[in-house]
């Protein structure tokens, strides 16, 4: 059974940092692109970043470029999101997401990040 | 990186059919057959309902169907059931600087 379990969320002040983790199991983690998707309270889904199987390619939504860094450790079957210079508008539930054609599509349960003073 | 355009809400009575639209551009919806639809119940993670425009994953009822015309994709739910009440999101691969884009979401109310 595929499982994605996020952790690391919490309350942080504006300008602060947080590191999210996603522990993957039930599939060959090193064979898939991995993504982070977020959802602000009462709002829609927003794709944040993704990373290639070997970590050699990374892409980010414009609003987090230069502040967030996605990484992975294939030996630990883990995905990470280092978030620096956090802003109020980064407040959201952050989901770990794996999707591959044709229908391999799994989400974690999400971890809540709240940026507030 | 504009979100795909969906109606904010739709509603229907049990047994009826509804359609949710998802409008993008030739750089996303219109340019690729990588349009997916997700169902999300409150407090839950999204669930894949349709992939590659019109395909259903195993376990998704055939009441759910997808299609695409030009830059607009559509999700149709026939024979509405109370359990279908949820938020629905479309997503598409895109040739922009970010590979994936989601729609703003549509709240389906079963009257």
Contact with chain A for residue B3, Cβ under 8 A: yes
Edge-to-edge strands, sheet with B18-23: B18-23, B72-77, B64-69
pLDDT band at B98 (very low <50, low <70, confident <90, very high): confident
Between CA B22 and CA B34 the distance in angstroms is 13
Q: Of A59, A101, A107, which is closest to B98 when you measure between CB atoms? A: A59
Taking contacts as CB-CB distances below 8 angstroms, the residues of chain B near A101 are: 34, 51-52
3-class SS of residue A101: coil
Residues 57-76 of B with CB under 8 A from A: 57-58
Q: What is the pLDDT of residues A49-91, one digit of tens each?
A: 999 999 999 999 999 999 999 999 999 999 999 999 999 999 9
CA distance A104 to B4: 22
Of the pLDDT bands very low, low, confident and very high (cuts 50, 70, 90), residue B97 is: confident
In angstroms, the CA B37 to CA A80 distance is: 26
Cα distance between residue A51 and residue A24, in whole Å: 14
Residues of B in contact with A109 (CB under 8 A): 45
Q: How confident is the model at residue B2 (pLDDT cuts 50, 70, 90)?
A: confident
Q: Do B102 and A60 touch (CB under 8 A)?
A: no
Residue A14 to residues A19, A110, A111, A113: CA-CA distances in angstroms?
15, 21, 18, 12
* pLDDT number for residue B1: 59
Q: Is A45–B99 a contact, with Cβ atoms under 8 angstroms apart?
A: no
Chain A contact for B48 (CB, 8 A cutoff): yes
């Amino acid at each position: 059974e595929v499982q994605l379990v996020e952790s690391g969320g919490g309350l942080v002040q504006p300008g602060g940092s947080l590191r999210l983790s996603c522990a993957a199991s039930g599939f060959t983690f090193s064979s898939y692109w991995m993504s982070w998707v977020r959802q602000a309270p009462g709002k829609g889904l927003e794709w944040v970043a993704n990373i290639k199987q070997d970590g050699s390619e990374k892409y980010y939504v414009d609003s987090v470029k230069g502040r967030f860094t996605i990484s992975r450790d294939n030996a630990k079957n883990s995905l990470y999101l280092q978030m620096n210079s956090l802003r109020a508008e980064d407040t959201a539930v952050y989901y770990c997401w794996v999707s591959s054609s044709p229908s391999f599509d799994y989400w974690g349960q999400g971890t809540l990040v709240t940026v507030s003073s | 990186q504009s979100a795909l355009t969906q109606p904010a809400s739709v509603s229907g009575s049990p047994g009826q059919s509804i359609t949710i639209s998802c409008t993008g551009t030739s750089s996303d919806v219109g340019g690729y057959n990588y349009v997916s639809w997700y169902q999300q119940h409150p407090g839950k993670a999204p669930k894949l309902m349709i992939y590659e425009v019109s395909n259903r994953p195993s376990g998704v009822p055939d009441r759910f169907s997808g299609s695409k015309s030009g830059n607009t994709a559509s999700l149709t739910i026939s024979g509405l059931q109370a359990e279908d009440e949820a938020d629905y999101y479309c997503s598409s691969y895109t040739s922009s600087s970010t590979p994936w884009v989601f729609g703003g979401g549509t709240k389906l109310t079963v009257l």
